Structure 1
Amino acid sequence: MFQTDIHYQGGPNAVLLLPGLCSTPLEMRYVAKALQRDGYTVSVPYIAGYGLGTPCTDWRAWIKAARAEYLKLKQTHATVSLCGLCIGATLCLAIAQEEPSVTSLSLLSVTLMYDGWTIPWYYPLIDFGYHTPLRHIYKYKETSPFGLKNESLRARIEKSMSQHAASEIGAAALPLPHLYHARRLASHVRRNLHRVTADCLVIHAVDDDTSSPHNARIVHEGVSSAHKQKYLLAESYHIVTMDNEREVVADETRRFFRDSIQRQHGGAAPEARIISKALLRANRQRGA
């Protein structure tokens, strides 16, 4: 169930979406459907060795597999944009560093370092642990709030985690090899941020429990994109594709992609920004 690819056929402009580490395509379903409604062809592949339920390969294999999915779409579509969550966003940056033909990027909760407020103090010791027998034993157990500020959704995910050791947001525990290679991928991407020239949208929650907004700042300042934007969310944690402001995430992503295509390739005129009901409520509360 959790390992099924998602593919929505649409028009000549395509989007490749990449979920987080040890996660599932379902994590990106809300954004995928919003993009499909806007006319895009959408692909959310399950990548073996990176996604939920398969033995870890390594970070270079992750890039190779994700890049192959990009090239597959590029062969049959006029434009291809990339959107990823967490380490999926880091993978998007890795592809863009090697493929200057990427039209635009939407980087959601991009993670170059795990430095959120739920990350344990010993996390930096993962590199050491990987080179010991711990690599075959240790798993980082996901705990509440599971990257979700929405309490009802959090309860549903917690129930699935306890019953199936997994949910639509991924595994209940992350094996040490996956965490180690995620750190290696992030180091590689950070060293080469200047090679990214595609239009770049960075969306991050102020209270992200897994990766702090410092990650968004590093990326926004480090890429060489002529057109880049940073958008901070006030009512979400890490899994912004499913949390309280998922409407905002989907609307800002499709608007940014549409404007980018218009700017680079012509087509429909840029549309006005759509503000979700959730954001309007938050703005009214802050105003009060």
Structure 2
Amino acid sequence: MTKYPIIEGAEPFYFEGNEIGILVSHGFTGTTHSVKPLGEAYHKAGYTVCGPRLKGHGTHYEDMETSTYQEWIQSVEEGYAWLKERCHTIFVVGLSMGGTLTLYMAENHPEIKGIVSINAAIDIPALNPQAFEADPHTRFLDSAGSDVKKENADEIGYDKTPVASLKELYKLLGIVKNDLPKITCPTLIFVSTEDHVVPPLNSTYITENISSAEKKAITLENSYHVATLDNDQQIIIDESLKFFKDYQ
């Protein structure tokens, strides 16, 4: 099997700071590039930050084709373990499928202090793998592209999506959706009003089905799916920093 190098700009990032840790996860077919501005802002505010590269991401879509949802979870778990060695308090933040993984972490680690989801996914009908199973010869689909409203702010990611990976994604979405009531920690939910990848109703469903007593949804009026690189980036940074301060 071909070994592909990591794409420049898609490397994992680790920033040492104080004893409060922030785990930041990128999304499906994406890279750490999409969430690094958040990581840098959190570190500037004093926090210890980890942005893991999900298995099969940031190299080549043929790498992704052979990775599983369990390996994506493991990538985040490894980042969490890195933070636990250094921090007494940990928050988790995620974009898109990174938001899904953030929800997964809260479902399985009740000690997490709080979570921030950004256009998180639990159901994406347009990407349901059943729609592509009729043609067994289809291995890759064209990716939706960088869904960013801001000019010249493209996300580093794959231009193809493996059908095998869609099947893995849907396994993860089903598990996380079923376990949403397990989430009890404070939760901040960002949702773009116009998102061409994950329907905004995903965030509505998440808000209504988690068990957290303290939860807040913030609408992003001037960004598409990759809001972390879009016009509302500063709103996400400012509001999440306020959230960490309120609940640390």
Query: Do both share a fold (TM > 0.5)?
Result: yes
**Cα RMSD after superposing both structures:** 1.8
Alignment partner, residue 138 of structure 1: 140
Alignment partner, residue 3 of structure 1: 10
Match of 2:175 among 188, 210, 215: 188
What is the 5 A alignment of 1:218-257? 218-257=205-244
Inter-CA distance 5–217: structure 2 relative to 1 (3 Å threshold)? same
Q: Is it true that 1:170 corresponds to 2:157 in the alignment?
A: yes
Alignment partner, residue 73 of structure 2: 63
Moved more, 216-225 or 168-177: 168-177
Q: Give the unaligned 5+ runs of structure 2.
A: 1-7
Deviations 1:109-136 (A, max 9, x none): 1011225xxx5xxx43x2363586335x
Q: Is the 8 A contact 2:141 2:160 kept in 1?
A: yes
Q: Is the 8 A contact 1:235 1:245 kept in 2?
A: yes
**3-state DSSP class of the match of 1:106?**
strand
How far off its partner does 1:173 sit? 1.7
How far off its partner does 1:72 sit? 2.5
**3-state DSSP class of the match of 2:228?**
coil
Q: Is it true that 1:112 corresponds to 2:119 in the alignment?
A: no
Counterpart Cα distance in 2 of 1:212 and 1:128? 18
Match of 1:49 among 44, 49, 56: 56
How far off its partner does 1:140 sit? 3.0
Inter-CA distance 195–150: structure 2 relative to 1 (3 Å threshold)? same
Alignment partner, residue 39 of structure 1: 46
Counterpart Cα distance in 2 of 1:198 and 1:67? 18
Alignment partner, residue 17 of structure 1: 24
Aligned residues: 238
Counterpart Cα distance in 2 of 1:50 and 1:90? 16
Deviations 1:193-249 (A, max 9, x none): 011112110001011111122011111111111211000111110001000010001
Q: Is the 8 A contact 2:121 2:198 kept in 1?
A: yes
> TM-score, normalized by length of structure 2?
0.89
Inter-CA distance 101–208: structure 2 relative to 1 (3 Å threshold)? same
Counterpart Cα distance in 2 of 1:26 and 1:141? 17
Deviations 1:168-207 (A, max 9, x none): 4311121112222111111110000011112110001011
Counterpart Cα distance in 1 of 2:54 and 2:101? 12
**3-state DSSP class of the match of 2:90?**
strand
Inter-CA distance 52–185: structure 2 relative to 1 (3 Å threshold)? farther
Paired amino acid for 2:233: R
Moved more, 20-29 or 41-50: 41-50
> TM-score, normalized by length of structure 1?
0.77
How far off its partner does 1:3 sit? 3.2
Alignment partner, residue 112 of structure 2: 102
Alignment partner, residue 4 of structure 2: none
Q: Which has the larger radius of gyration?
A: 1
Q: Is the 8 A contact 1:195 1:223 kept in 2?
A: yes
Counterpart Cα distance in 2 of 1:254 and 1:196? 21
Counterpart Cα distance in 1 of 2:185 and 2:58? 26
Q: Identity of counterpart residues, as a percentage?
A: 25
Q: Is it true that 1:200 corresponds to 2:187 in the alignment?
A: yes
**3-state DSSP class of the match of 1:238?**
coil
**Larger helix percent:** 1
